[in-house]
Structure 1
């Protein structure tokens, strides 16, 4: 499709005609030969001498060429451009942070897989998280791991394959043996500072009680609520254990309730998969759609045509004058 960026320029098309009709004619004096006996010559020829002027007439071909040149120049000023098919860009309208507990207790093999065999907690969680990540194509996601300290394993990215790669590199104990749940939430809040969207979702998975945070989970969840971060918490492990191995379900529930999220408990791989499925159903993908049409300027084509017409016209006039000057 071809359109003009400045179609109002075509209003200039009748300008030469208006100048021709309204502007005073161009007058030019030319030299002549004075003959002392001019009156006698005129009388002998039977002509009555009188003053006058000669109006030069432009040939039709030259008029047509000049008209075409003017049309090409006006068309170039109107900025013709070729519009390609619209290109639609979908941009995620929500950012998601995954916070994963990799404390020492995640090494226990008390998680039942779908085939009934015991499985390491972290490996079962990673298998389910991979599927969850793969189903959120187009979303921006970040990965936080926490043990004694919390770290950003992967910043916000739309490349979910690389995010799964960072998840694969995660091992039990690489962030320390203890559980810093509050610090992980605080780090997630700081990670959202680089986010430009209003919809902010954090999914926190933990199998222990907070024992090493510098910021309590209660304070962290209050700050998250103030900043509009919704937190979904998932508890795995044994709530009847003692010490750091006991998952603090009450704390996880309080965090979710304070931020407007929801709390889940999963004691095997199937339940964990259902938990992520429910989170996905409650938080469908939100996108912002932008579209644009690539534009290719075509103004150089009428300019080139006008230049060729001017060069051809000048060459034609030059050769015509040379022919007239030849004997």
Structure 2
């Protein structure tokens, strides 16, 4: 049951002070009679009339409560809903090379990428999503799954140093293609995020993209970070030291990969742009949902109005007959 005007239900709180007032007045109106002893009075039980003398007040409370509920307009709904959903397969390929520790995107490129990607995952509850990470080599952190809680936990566990340093974009793409190509969904997508150019691995990025194209897989590529000199944290015997390196990624190669597979290339130089990119991908790859909905609501306020009327008549009758007070 739902209510068209639920705010009127707060009026039910007024019944609390009314009950307190009744109890207080009842206590004040108690009569007293002086007698020598009351021990013999205990053998005389209270009459039923005394025990039931509060019924008129209870009926009045019920009258007020029913009228308030009627004002709130209770409604019974009779509805059915049919929803057919078809999720898509999404494989995320994430670069975890040392340059992803640069702080030009706060707190670091890698942490920003993980945070925004987690938001994207949680916004796609119907999709099969997996994760491949790569540096000089590549491995699958999480296969395609609809258990996004597990995926997010594995995503949060990703850190630099899990793989030997380097940037094998082609190897990462090939691994993602291998994981997604046999999926049952009609739509298959790879989201590749990197901040460098391919310098490792035996598979060229464009070759991996051609393989993806043969399986009908679209690739969205994201080049993350700013161009120029950046500071990279490096572990040394003296602790963490920062090394200045030139930041650049092969935007042309990433663009060719995306165009070849029917995807799109994006450049992210700060947190807001990175978030906007995932939001745009979310719009481009909307899950198809077919909904048939029917809803009918029946007013139920008249039932409570009838109850209020019945309780009121009962109260008047009882107060003027059985529980009539003689001055």
Q: Which residue of 1 aligns with 2:102?
A: 108
* Contact 1:239–1:248 (Cα < 8 Å) also in 2: no
TM-score, structure 2 as length reference:
0.57
Supply the distance in 2 between the matched residues of 1:237 and 1:283 (Cα, whole angstroms).
24
Q: CA, structure 1 residues 138+150, in 2 after alignment: closer, same or farther (shift >3 Å)?
A: same
Quote the residue 1:183 is aligned against: 171
RMSD, matched Cα: 2.3
Q: Distance in 1 between matches of 2:269 and 2:280?
A: 16
Q: Give 5+ residue unaligned stretches, structure 1.
A: 1-84, 112-117, 290-327
Partner of 1:262: 264
Q: Distance in 2 between matches of 1:137 and 1:182?
A: 29
Whether 1:143 aligns to 2:144 is no
Change in 2 beyond 3 A, CA 1:245/1:175:
farther
Residue 97 of structure 1: which of 91, 96, 104 is its match?
A: 91
Measured in 1, the distance between the counterparts of 2:126 and 2:257 equals 27
**1:132 and 2:134 equivalent?**
no
Q: Quick one: structure 1 residues 87 and 100, their matched pair in 2 at CA, closer, same or farther if it must change by over 3 Å?
A: same
The 8 Å contact of residues 181 and 215 in structure 2, kept in 1 or not, is answered as no
- Give, in angstroms, the shift of residue 238 of structure 1: 3.2
Aligned equivalent of 1:282:
284
1:215 matched residue in structure 2? 203
Q: 1:194 offset after TM fit, Å?
A: 3.3
Give distance in 1, aligned partners of 2:150 and 2:218: 25
Unaligned runs of 5+ in 2: 1-78, 231-244, 292-327
Match of 2:23 in 1: none
Give the total of aligned pairs: 199
Q: Which residue of 2 aligns with 1:231?
A: 219
SS, match of residue 119 in structure 1? coil
What residue is the counterpart of 2:156 in the other structure?
168
**TM (normalized to structure 1)?**
0.57
The change in CA–CA distance for 1:176 and 1:282 in structure 2 (over 3 A counts) is same
**Aligned-pair CA distance for 1:212:** 0.6
Alpha carbons 1:210, 1:244 under 8 Å: kept: no
Question: How is 1:144-159 mapped onto 2 (pairs within 5 angstroms)?
Answer: 144-159=132-147
Aligned counterparts of 2:246 and 2:179: Cα–Cα separation in 1: 27
